[in-house]
Amino acid sequence: MQLTHEENQFERKTFPITLVCDHIYFQQNIGSLFRISEAFGVEKIIFLGKDIPLTPRKINKTSRSTHLHVPHTIVKETAELIDHLIENDFEIIALEIASNSKPLKEVVIPENKKIAVLIGSEIDGISDDLLKIADQIVHINMFGKNSSMNVVQATSIILYELTSK
């Protein structure tokens, strides 16, 4: 028998993970990122960019009200974000296919350190400026002809991996 939301036995937990969204503007993706972040106990979401559309109806519909429960902020300038991540001593993990990326299953999670997970825009991925400050760059192994997946699907996979370790 399927359980209702009230009947499930999942432990409520928050992880020291900040999701950093590099110029993500598609409203359905933003709403879904709130939903998956809430499901995996993400501490905070930082949206990088100008004019991030955080109030439209499409976000509310896909987030299923989780945007009300996950703390979030907007940072307009990349330099300001970089300063914040470095000053607060985050372990910066970028999810990107790059010449120096390693498979996600090889990610190393340091003890007692906050994690910033960098995810890139739907069109351009993660900017070079952010990739340069990453402590680790990881990719998801894929076995089809396509070499990319939707940002929400990829975020779901990395959050599952990080919260399972």
Per-residue pLDDT of 59-86, as tens digits, reads: 777 887 788 789 999 999 999 999 999 9
pLDDT value at position 9?
64
Tell me if 158 is assigned to some domain. Answer: yes
Q: What share of the chain in percent tops pLDDT 70? A: 93
Domain assignment present for 8:
no
Is residue 1 a part of any domain in this protein? no
Question: Which pLDDT value is given to residue 107?
Answer: 96
The answer to the question of residue 6 being in a domain is: no
Domain enclosing residue 25, as ranges = 15-164
Confidence (pLDDT) at 6: 62
Spatial distance between the Cα atoms of 159 and 15, rounded to a whole number of angstroms: 10
Q: Which amino acid is at 125?
A: G
pTM of the predicted model, to two decimals? 0.91
Q: What pLDDT is recorded for position 8?
A: 63
Query: What per-residue confidence (pLDDT) applies to 1?
Result: 73
**CATH number of the domain where residue 128 is located:** 3.40.1280.10
Number of folded domains in the chain? 1
**Is position 151 within any domain?**
yes
Tens-place pLDDT, residues 20-41: 999 999 999 999 999 999 999 9
Instruction: In whole angstroms, give the CA distance from residue 152 to residue 122.
Output: 10
CA 88 to CA 70: how far, in whole Å? 20
Q: Is residue 125 part of a domain?
A: yes
